[in-house]
A and B are shown apart, each in its own frame.
Chain A
């Protein structure tokens, strides 16, 4: 019991230290306006974590700050996904329209979530509202995992450079989401995880994500040895292979 409490505090303070390092890294690399939503996400997590250190647990105030913070961070996480999309995918006009529509829907969903949060305070259906918020959080985490798989497939297949902060953000969110979803399922439906282990696993998952983000924002990528590109006969090969395959087609 004492050990788990100590470990909880260590993980809590370690995450605060990492968040401060990430904020410092973003400011130092002048990515404040390039990644405003992610910066806001980290800042909100940092503020909530620091505030909760000074508030007595358990208590109404602690729960209120935790849940309000949770709604804000879930909405910001969704916004971060859209933010990374513009750096991972090329900016076709059609894609810009899709992202604008998605952002508008996200903003509406955000307003609805805040309204639900306020309703939870004043109506007898408060518990039901909290269940909906938890469901929304799990849904966003599910989207983060799918997003990670999609982005990784894109950069691997197209040969894009993985040393981008946006890729690091996606990786961190995806790893955090994957671990927390797995732990939630193991606790809720399989009863493999105790309450204490659940708290520790969630903290550890967030710390793993924060480590990934710190790595991406604080690393200065070493310059690789000079890599001039060689002359190749790829176009000749393309002509030869295309000419061969075209023999097989019957023209209508």
Chain B
């Protein structure tokens, strides 16, 4: 196999995949296209169906309907052991009766790779996951982070087309998670394999991924690069699930050029264009805390430059957090958060300030029914407009 071709291995296409647990749908006709060689993350709260989708790609679960292709080969009815994948389990699932080297060797033996080649590959993998000198240990004698590396090496030993990772860092503490996250990314790049990674941790998803698919209630809500998802959420769920967001009730007043103009309270601001909205529609205007600008004088430079004011607020809380200074404000009975430069001008508590935002920065998402408030609480429910 040539280098050029091998670097293009591992395209995964799932089409119309549906899965049910005891008649309750866990995946609702999901489509997924993961490009060869890319690091793709399925991100979502627990119960959103991300692990189920991963297991269907692995063949550990059979979909009710739909198909899965790996590199143009229909594998929907191919048993797991012949799908040419690697899988890293959340609890690693290392074989406790086998040493580290034997764990890594397992897949090669099962595929009847010749002995000298096998040994060579095991040594390569041990080097790749930095476990020098630990090959003879049993999994029980390793730390959590080391076990995780074994699981990774074991999954990659047979050079799979696709590496599937089911919250592999979930069991580790925060520091180790960051360290190993970077490691996972490096190893994936070196191994030149496609990776599909499942997590509920947004930070992890952003650090590792080329692209991210946000899932909820058995559906993929939005797919995009971390930047796209953060800057341009397409619905309320994505807006709230990724990072912090201030949501303001607004009304569309015009669609102009590259922006959609909305009215918030007393102000009118230009947001990123959202073609799904018509003039007169209510919408949520989503602003990130670092996008909100706070000015001490309520009148000054109101309309100057590209900043557009949308009301005045009272500071109710002010906290220094190191890299940023966070103020909580109340505006029209609603609480809003703004992150300021800590070395800049910080308003006092109880001070009245003006709020503004740069034109074309805020995102607009459709208003959802009132019951859809907390995304974490309603993962199992059916989304009326989604299905």
The judgment on whether A and B are partners is: no
Mark B residues whose CB is within 8 Å of A. Answer: none
A residues with CB within 8 A of B: none
